[in-house]
Amino acid sequence: MELPPKRDLAIAAGVAFTAVFAFYHARERKTRTRKIQRTDERVLVLGASSGVGRTLAHIYAQRGARVCVVGRRKKEIEEVELECKTIQRIKESEEDRNAFSFCADFANPEQMVMLRDIIQAEWQGVDTVIVAAGVSSLQPLLSVANLKHDSDHVELEGVQRVVEVAKAALHSNFIGPLVSATIFIPLLLSTSNSPSILLMSSLASVIPAPTRSLYAATKSSSLLLYESLAIEHPPIAFSLVMPSTIKGDFRSSAVDGGSIRDASPGPSQKGLDKSYVARKCVEAIDYRKKHVFLPGYHGISHLLYWLFPSFVEARAREKYQFIPKPSPF
């Protein structure tokens, strides 16, 4: 008996995989929509005062969901609350809790426990938790340490500055997601028929970049934390979104005081549109997708990094306009 050519077998396997993949995601979406209607969904957005988090709050308000927006800046987060109420056609004077704000630092355990108790009292639970807050860091590590060009060692003050900057990055990029998961996972499990949690991570969490060492390290730590939690809590659908550069002013408040170095991004330059990223986040929650690279082809970039690390590293240096110092030897 003559076997089919390998090319035909590969095509058949590809078609079969695509069909199974499509069926799986269609089934998953149907499962969540059947269990929880859009207008019944209770959504908590941590880091909603600007950027993708703010846009996500608007999207869920448009869908008719109940939305709680959280941020550290009181004026901005109250503006987002009003925007959501306007979208939902709720008068500001009405005591309707379909949309409300809470000013807090999501890395503060006391404030987050208070928020949980308010949500429990107002909504009797939560269905979707979105962790969209975070901070950037834009300098090479030794620049953070103030290493001088004519010196071959870092002074004590430089090491202390590195530690302080690292603590600031960890506070928002790891401690915040850690506190959020610790407090809201039990509430999700006990009050939702279809619990979901989304972490807004970064492509830098899986593909390292020059000048982003502290940012990449802190974002990858929270990514691995949530990947581990997904194994520990299978009833919850974890969505881990890893976008490349997003247009906006996110990097202007870098915890290390660094300036924007790369060739493409900036408030008025190239990068992903926050509306596009927000729509993909909602899609990930609806379809219960776990790992989402934005744009999608960066999933291949992640694979290329392991297969051809030197090639990817060279492209990263080019993107961030980083020229390493030559070795003296």
pLDDT at 193: 94
pLDDT digits over 162-175, tens only?
A: 999 999 999 999 99
pLDDT at 270: 73
CA distance readout (Å), 177 to 85, 104, 185, 264: 27, 14, 11, 29
pLDDT at 254: 85
> What is the token pair recorded at 249?
């002013």
Instruction: Check pLDDT > 60 for residue 3.
Output: no
pTM of the model: 0.85
pLDDT at 2: 53
pLDDT digits over 69-84, tens only?
A: 999 999 999 999 999 9
Class of domain 36-319: alpha beta
Q: Is 128 helix (H, G, I), strand (E, B) or coil?
A: strand
pLDDT at 85: 94
pLDDT at 267: 45
Question: How wide is the angle at C-alpha 92 spanned by C-alphas 91 and 95, nearest 5°?
Answer: 90
Q: Please indicate whether residue 57 or residue 325 has the higher confidence score (pLDDT).
A: 57
279-287: average pLDDT:
95
Q: Is 50 helix (H, G, I), strand (E, B) or coil?
A: coil
Q: How far apart are the C-alpha atoms of 62 and 152, rounded to whole Å?
A: 57
pLDDT at 239: 98
Which of 7-11, 120-124, 159-163 is predicted least confidently? 7-11
pLDDT at 147: 86
Q: How far apart are the C-alpha atoms of 61 and 38, rounded to whole Å?
A: 10
Q: How far apart are the C-alpha atoms of 316 and 313, rounded to whole Å?
A: 5
The band of 12, judged by pLDDT with boundaries at 50, 70 and 90, is low
pLDDT at 302: 82
Percentage of the chain lying above the pLDDT 90 cut: 62
The angle, 0 to 180 degrees and rounded to 10, between the axes of the packed helices 213-232 and 156-170 is 40
Contact 46, 176 (CB under 8 A): yes
Q: Alpha helix (H) ranges present in 192-237?
A: 213-232
Count Cβ atoms below 10 Å from residue 198 Cβ, excluding itself: 24
296-307: average pLDDT:
88
pLDDT digits over 218-256, tens only?
A: 999 999 999 999 999 999 999 999 999 999 876 666 887
pLDDT digits over 86-105, tens only?
A: 998 865 555 566 899 999 99
Longest dimension (CA), the chain: 79
Q: Please indicate whether residue 187 or residue 208 has the higher confidence score (pLDDT).
A: 187
Instruction: Check pLDDT > 70 for residue 19.
Output: no
Q: Alpha helix (H) ranges present in 105-264?
A: 109-123, 141-144, 156-170, 176-191, 213-232
The band of 5, judged by pLDDT with boundaries at 50, 70 and 90, is low
